[in-house]
Amino acid sequence: GDSVTQMEGPVTLSEEAFLTINCTYTATGYPSLFWYVQYPGEGLQLLLKATKADDKGSNKGFEATYRKETTSFHLEKGSVQVSDSAVYFCALSWNTGNQFYFGTGTSLTVIP
Amino acid sequence: SAVISQKPSRDICQRGTSLTIQCQVDSQVTMMFWYRQQPGQSLTLIATANQGSEATYESGFVIDKFPISRPNLTFSTLTVSNMSPEDSSIYLCSVDRQGRGEAFFGQGTRLTVV
């Protein structure tokens, strides 16, 4: 069945460090791929998405490229800030209104 | 983005009791989704609720334990019945409000069963 595997956490980085959180998926075909972020005490928010192969999603300095060859959608940011401290979830979905499959989440803490 | 209001935001309940969680969306949506997020874990879909029909439950979840109502296109409730400490989780409702394949989530209900 469909599934998402993402990098184990927690991850601790110093401010301005480079961030990579790995995400790979298993699915038959080419689903849409997402990164969601959950800040402390808040609900999940969409961070970025890509709907087809080679698409790059970007938002707030974060980027992820849909790689069908490696079935991956790794999240990257060139320079993290303390305010980026949150839990990040990789997810896939097939079409409008359909259910989402989430990875286990990666907790990121950025220290000054 | 969608505005999804979920109530209560948190509760502490005695084992054996039931809690009903409400989810109100600011626009009409076809499907509403209920997820559970157990401590330190990812989100697991409980069921999909369509207006005017029975909810569709995922493997491992049953209607007797998690009855769902969907009386109209902007509202749904999830009841956690006969609670035990293992039901302590965050429960979230989700919709694809704008039909763009993007899930919008409520703030969640943090449930603790003692």
In the three-class reduction of DSSP (H, G, I as helix; E, B as strand; rest coil), residue A83 is classed as helix
- B23 within 8 A of B79, measured Cβ to Cβ: no
Cα A82 from chain centre: 18
**DSSP sequence for A28-74:** SS--EEEEEEE-TTS-EEEEEEE-STT-EEEETTEEEE-BTTTTB--
pLDDT digits (tens, 9 = 90+) for B17-37: 999 999 999 999 888 999 999
pLDDT of A96 reads: 60
Q: A21, A36, A102: best mutation site toward chain B, by most B Cβ within 10 Å?
A: A102
Residues of A with CB under 8 A from a CB of B: 32, 34, 36, 42-46, 49, 51, 89, 91, 93, 95-100, 102-105
Phi, psi of B32 (to 5 degrees): -125, 145
Sorted by sequence, the CB contacts under 8 Å of residue A68 that are 6+ apart come out as A30, A53, A54
Count the helix, strand and coil residues of chain A and give each as a percent rounded to the nearest 5.
5, 55, 45
Sorted by sequence, the CB contacts under 8 Å of residue A18 that are 6+ apart come out as A76, A77, A78, A79, A80
Chain A environment of B41 (Cβ under 8 Å): 104-105
Interchain pair A103, B103: CB under 8 A: no
Facing B107 at nearest CB: one of A42, A91, A99: A42
pLDDT of B52 reads: 82
pLDDT average, residue stretch B5-28: 95
Cα A71 from chain centre: 13
pLDDT of A2 reads: 85
Written as one letter, the residue type at A69 is E
Per-residue pLDDT 10s for chain A (112 aa) are 888 999 888 999 999 999 999 999 999 888 999 999 999 888 889 999 999 999 999 999 999 999 999 999 999 999 999 999 999 999 999 866 567 889 999 999 999 9
Interchain pair B105, A45: CB under 8 A: yes
In degrees, rounded to 5, the angle at the alpha carbon of residue A108 between the alpha carbons of residues A6 and A54 is 45
Residue B2: pLDDT band (50, 70, 90) is low
Chain A environment of B29 (Cβ under 8 Å): 97
Cα B63 from chain centre: 13
CB atoms within 10 A of CB B27: 12
Report the phi/psi class of residue B9: left, alpha or beta, with left for phi > 0 and alpha for psi in -120 to 50.
alpha
Interface A:B, Cβ pairs < 8 A:
55
pLDDT digits (tens, 9 = 90+) for B33-85: 999 998 878 899 999 998 888 899 999 999 999 999 999 999 999 999 999 99
- Whether residue A10 is preceded by a cis peptide bond, meaning omega within 30 degrees of 0, is yes
Written as one letter, the residue type at B97 is R
- Return the DSSP state at B87: G
